[in-house]
Amino acid sequence: SLVETKSDQSAKTGIKNELNGAEGASSLGQNQSWVSLQELGLNYNSIGDEGARELGKNTSWTDLQIIELNSSSITDEGVAELYKNKT
- Per residue in 29-81, pLDDT (tens digit) is 898 988 899 999 988 888 999 999 999 999 999 999 999 999 999 999 999 99
pLDDT at 4: 44
Cα distances (angstroms) measured from residue 1 to each of 13, 17, 60:
10, 7, 23
Collapsed DSSP state (helix, strand, coil) of residue 68: strand
pLDDT at 12: 65
Instruction: Tell whether the model's pLDDT for residue 82 goes beyond 50.
Output: yes
Cα-Cα-Cα-Cα torsion 76, 29, 18, 37, nearest 10 degrees, comes to 100
pTM above 0.85, yes or no: no
Average pLDDT over residues 11-26: 76
Instruction: Tell whether the model's pLDDT for residue 85 goes beyond 70.
Output: yes
Q: How far apart are CA 6 and CA 8, in angstroms?
A: 7
